[in-house]
Structure formats: C-alpha cells, structure tokens
Copies of this chain bind each other. A is one copy, B any other.
Amino acid sequence: MNESSFIIRLVNMKLKKEEKKRKIINAAIKIFARNGYFNSRVSEIAKEAGVADGTIYIYFSSKEELLSAIFDEALLVFVEESRKTLEGITDPIEKLKKIVCLHLKHLGSNRDLAMVFQIEFRHNIVFMERLSKTKLADYFKIIEGVILEGQEKGLFKELNPRFCAKVLFGIIDEMVTSWLIANKNYQLEKDAEILVNTFVYGIAKK
C-alpha cells in the first residue's frame, strides 16, 4: 500500500512536471509569435507562463533549446498525424489532399504556432546547429512516398520525387506565410483541395 502510494506520488509529480513544461512551451510560442525569437525575453516568457525566470532553466537548458523543443513537438505531430491519417486511404491524390489538409488545419488552428513555425523555423534551420533536421526529413519522406506511389500506379509523371515533394511543400509554405502576413481570419484548410489540384494538374488548360 505504501509502495503504491509512493508510485502514485511519483506519477503525480511527473504529471505536474509535464504540465509546467507545457505551460512554458505555450508561453514561449505566444511570446515568440508576438516578437520573434530574438526580440523575446526569457523573463517575458516566464511571466506569461506564471513561473520564475530561473524555473525555465530547470526544464530547458537554454533559450535556444526552448525554441528547438517547439519545433520538435510541432514536427512530431505533423509526422505522426500524417502517418495515421494515410492508413485507410489508397488513392495517392487523396493522400496528398489529406496531408495538406492536416498541415493547414494544424497551423491554421493555432496562429501563434504557425508564426513561430513559419517564420522562425526557416530562419533557424540555417543557423541553429542543434536543430533536429531529421524530423523535417521524415515529413518530406512521407510526401515523397506518396509521390512515388502515384508514379508506380502510373498516375504521376516520372519526375524526381524529392523535387515534387519540395514543390508541394513550397506551395503549402507560401500559403501559410501569406495567410499569416495577410492577418485575415479566413479558414486556411479550405485551400487544401484547390492547392493539391493545382499541384497535380497544373494551371494549364488541357
């Protein structure tokens, strides 16, 4: 009995820790989105999270690590959710639509996250050494896989799949960024259908 209550306590502590980590990450997303990474102060994030400045350093070893954690988490969601969603579907074009829709939904439903992801990620992928590029590569791999599948099924031209993945990613990326800059509240994911159609069939009349 004593032992099990000890375990329960441990689990509770773990949960509380997770909870506080969440609060800090969410605060960071908010603040980074508002001012950009370099113009955000750790003390601001601490205030927003309702913790002391020093507390942040218990959970993250540096400001940069905190940014990195945001990216890791977001990419993890992208990759995992994409994989899960694709399971039941067979048509490659349908798959692409699903991926794009998910991507747009995920960012479109959380403007602050979108801001940090679009604006800071690209900035930091070049300059931050530690930044895990693996997760991003995984995401590209998924798209590439679908392209390849489409090619094998004779649906798509024999273009370089990586090239195609980049093209699609570029289009998505631009849509999100332009949605951010426009600062209007239209539903981002409703563009998924037309976006993929344009990617697949081009803009030329047959």
Binding site for B on A (CB under 8 A): 35-36, 38-39, 93, 115, 118-120, 122-123, 125-127, 147, 150, 154-157, 159, 163-164, 166-167, 169-175, 177-178, 180-181, 194-195, 198-206
Contact = CB atoms under 8 A, between A and B. Distances in A.
Contact of A173 (B93, B127, B174, B194): B174
11 contacts: A122-B122, A156-B204, A166-B171, A167-B203, A170-B170, A170-B172, A171-B171, A171-B174, A198-B202, A202-B203, A202-B204
Contacts of A93: 204
A199 B199 CA distance: 7
Nearest to A38: B38
A198 B126 contact: no
Contacts of A119: 122-123, 126
Contacts of A156: 203-205
A194 B123 contact: no
Contact of A204 (B120, B178, B201): B201
A114 B205 CA distance: 34
B125 A181 contact: yes
Nearest to A160: B194
A115 B126 contact: yes
